[in-house]
């Protein structure tokens, strides 16, 4: 009998396909309502943090250096009130085999796929993670397919995405390039079903557990170097896995006082799934087009329950304009002699401003860097923006309108950040949980889960449920 490959039929089989492709039965974590056993799901990897460190070490992943940005710290202090200007450090993840922290996620997933006897791995991603999976798959002797949302309907792709596809192919992966739209997830499911390959998802417990080593390393390295944990760690936020894994690693190290700050480029007003707006942005990750939707409903991902749940760990969430990130990229290169890619420089822009709020003896860490070059460099990005009708201006970042212009700060004092209202984000998450689960009443287990998943309180959750008219 021929299997029905229509969009509706494939989507109806997604649970069955996922179970076979990742080796996890997500149903065992469910309680029948909003809540599920998150920590039990995370333990489903079967590996301790120390075992994952060993797995990563075998392929040259992890143990990346901490670098102090003395010149940027000095510059930040020029614009800070007296006595302010925390020391700025970066965790240089560009030294991983594929040039980004995502090698940590990929190392765990590919090792596990090999261990279970899968012949290959598939990842749905526009970039760095695809390159990481391709690199680690090559080391494990596995086949690799990367499904990439690449073009608009004109067949035009952003230079950064094209560069990432090149990197995936360089490591031996087959890259399936698609136009923006719903066909990405459908194609991903079809390929998983047809090949029987492992789902090397960004959002599985294996992916998130792989990033825990990053947070753990940060704590251990600062204790050895400075005799204490950092005061704040700034993490570029998109789908939430980077932030979740790093925060969990810090907590496993006992760094309970370290503040977790998310940072995203503001692309307010642009729709990520819009064909006409796809090439109007200059950032393919680390922006609010991913950061907000995934924070307010993490289970929109390619697994039944996402292990990336950033609201569980966020203490603060800030945004900045595109131009400020380009500007900080130049400052990092010209003041510190480090040329690094766009995503890590998002959190660098935030850290530069946040440091000016903190005392001089405090420590703030930019949690990752990534490689740059070719289409990931700021020059082709700005050229591409001009070709798509975006005006490039030097002035006040407050004047930037995503999709219309990019405003480069006219001097370092103009690098600005904006705080997002986390309570508003928490409210959106709770509303989405109610609507997506289609329920009118929650139990005590749900209340406790919602409080943990939003890092709030039972009183806060009950207040939102009262507004929504939901019984408890």
What HEC string does 89-151 produce? EEECHHHCCCCCCHHHHHHHHHHHHHHHCCCEEEEECCCHHHHHHHHHHHHHCCEEEEEEEEE
> Model pTM?
0.96
Helix axes of 342-355 and 322-336: crossing angle, nearest 10 degrees: 90
The answer as to CATH 3.40.718.10 being correct for domain 62-98+206-419 is no
Rg (CA), the chain: 21
Q: In what order do the strands lie in the sheet with 198-199?
A: 174-179, 143-151, 120-124, 198-199
Q: What pLDDT tens digit does each residue of the chain (472 aa) get?
A: 588 999 999 988 988 898 899 989 899 999 888 999 999 999 989 999 999 999 999 999 999 999 999 999 999 999 999 999 999 999 999 999 999 999 999 999 999 999 999 999 999 986 799 999 999 999 999 999 999 988 888 889 889 999 999 999 999 999 999 988 778 889 999 999 999 999 999 899 999 999 999 999 999 999 999 999 999 999 999 999 999 999 999 999 999 999 999 999 999 998 877 888 989 999 989 999 999 999 999 999 888 899 999 999 999 999 999 999 999 999 999 999 999 999 999 999 999 999 999 999 999 999 999 999 888 999 999 999 999 999 999 999 999 999 999 999 999 999 999 999 999 999 999 999 999 998 889 999 999 999 999 999 999 999 999 999 999 9
Query: Which pLDDT score, from 0 to 100, does residue 1 have?
Result: 58
CA 43 vs. chain centroid, Å, equals 21
CA atoms within 13 Å, Cβ hemisphere of 348:
34
In whole angstroms, what is the distance from residue 393 CA to residue 83 CA? 33
Q: Which fold has domain 7-54+100-204?
A: Rossmann fold (3.40.50)
Find out whether 211 and 245 touch, Cβ atoms under 8 Å.
yes
Query: Which pLDDT score, from 0 to 100, does residue 179 have?
Result: 87
In whole angstroms, what is the distance from residue 148 CA to residue 191 CA? 13
Same fold, 7-54+100-204 and 62-98+206-419: yes
261: number of Cβ within 10 Å: 25
In whole angstroms, what is the distance from residue 36 CA to residue 298 CA? 13
DSSP conformational letter for 233: E
Find out whether 335 and 278 touch, Cβ atoms under 8 Å.
no
| Domain boundary assignment for the chain | 7-54+100-204, 62-98+206-419, 422-468
Going from the C-alpha of 74 to that of each of 16, 262, 391, the distances in angstroms are 55, 23, 32
Query: Which pLDDT score, from 0 to 100, does residue 150 have?
Result: 87
In whole angstroms, what is the distance from residue 344 CA to residue 355 CA? 16
CA 129 vs. chain centroid, Å, equals 10
pLDDT tens track for 42-100:
998 999 999 999 999 999 999 999 999 999 999 999 999 999 999 999 999 999 999 99
What is the DSSP secondary-structure string of 3-43?
A: PP-SHHHHHHTHHHHHHHHHS--GGGGB-SSS-B-HHHHHH
215: number of Cβ within 10 Å: 30
Phi, psi (degrees; rounded to nearest 5) at 151: -120, 160
In whole angstroms, what is the distance from residue 85 CA to residue 68 CA? 14
Comparing CA positions, the residue from 57, 38, 41, 352 lying closest to residue 217 is 57
Query: Which pLDDT score, from 0 to 100, does residue 29 have?
Result: 95
Comparing CA positions, the residue from 273, 259, 240 lying closest to residue 105 is 240
- Any idea what the Cα angle at residue 158 is, between residues 345 and 14, rounded to 5°? 95
Phi, psi (degrees; rounded to nearest 5) at 281: -110, 155
Query: Which pLDDT score, from 0 to 100, does residue 212 have?
Result: 98
Phi, psi (degrees; rounded to nearest 5) at 46: 80, 5
């Amino acid at each position: 009998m021929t299997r029905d490959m229509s969009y509706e039929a494939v989507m109806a089989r997604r649970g069955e396909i996922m179970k076979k492709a990742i080796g996890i039965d997500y149903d065992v974590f469910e309680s029948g309502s909003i809540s599920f056993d998150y920590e039990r799901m995370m333990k489903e990897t079967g590996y301790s943090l120390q075992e994952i460190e060993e797995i990563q070490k075998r392929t040259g992943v992890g143990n990346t250096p901490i670098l102090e940005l003395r010149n940027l710290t000095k510059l930040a202090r020029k614009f800070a009130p007296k006595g302010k200007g925390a020391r700025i450090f970066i965790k240089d993840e560009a030294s991983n085999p594929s040039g980004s922290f995502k090698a940590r996620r990929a190392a765990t997933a590919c090792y596990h796929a090999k261990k279970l006897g899968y012949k290959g791995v598939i990842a749905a991603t526009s970039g760095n993670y695809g390159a990481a999976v391709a690199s680690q798959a090559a080391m494990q002797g596995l086949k690799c397919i990367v499904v990439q949302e690449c073009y608009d309907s004109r067949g035009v792709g952003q230079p950064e995405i094209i560069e990432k596809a090149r990197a995936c192919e360089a490591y031996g992966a087959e890259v399936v390039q698609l136009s923006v739209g719903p066909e990405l997830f459908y194609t991903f499911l079809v390929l998983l079903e047809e090949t029987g390959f492992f789902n090397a998802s960004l959002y599985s417990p294996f992916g998130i557990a792989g990033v825990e080593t990053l947070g753990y390393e940060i704590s251990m390295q600062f204790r050895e170097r400075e005799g204490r944990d950092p005061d704040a760690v700034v993490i570029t936020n998109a789908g939430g896995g980077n932030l979740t894994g790093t925060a969990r690693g810090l907590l496993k190290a006992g760094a309970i006082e370290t503040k977790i700050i998310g940072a995203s480029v503001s692309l307010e007003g642009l729709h990520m799934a819009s064909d006409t707006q796809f090439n109007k942005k200059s950032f393919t990750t680390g922006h609010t087009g991913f950061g907000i939707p995934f924070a307010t409903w993490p289970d929109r991902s390619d697994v039944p329950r996402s292990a990336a749940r950033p609201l569980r760990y966020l203490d603060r969430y800030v945004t900045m304009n595109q131009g400020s990130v380009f500007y900080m990229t130049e400052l990092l290169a010209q003041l510190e002699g480090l040329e690094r890619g766009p995503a890590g420089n998002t959190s660098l822009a935030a850290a530069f401003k946040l440091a000016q709020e903190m005392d001089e003896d405090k420590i703030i860490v930019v949690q990752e860097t990534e490689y740059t070059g070719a289409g990931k460099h700021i020059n082709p990005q700005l050229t591409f923006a001009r070709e798509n009708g975006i005006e490039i201006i030097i002035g006040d970042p407050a004047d930037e309108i995503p999709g219309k212009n990019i405003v480069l700060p006219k001097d370092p004092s103009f690098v600005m950040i904006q705080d997002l209202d986390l309570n508003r984000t928490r409210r959106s998450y709770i509303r989405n949980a109610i609507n997506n689960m289609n329920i009118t009443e929650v139990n005590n287990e749900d209340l406790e889960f919602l409080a943990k998943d939003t890092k709030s309180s039972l009183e806060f959750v009950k207040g939102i449920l009262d507004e929504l008219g939901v019984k408890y």
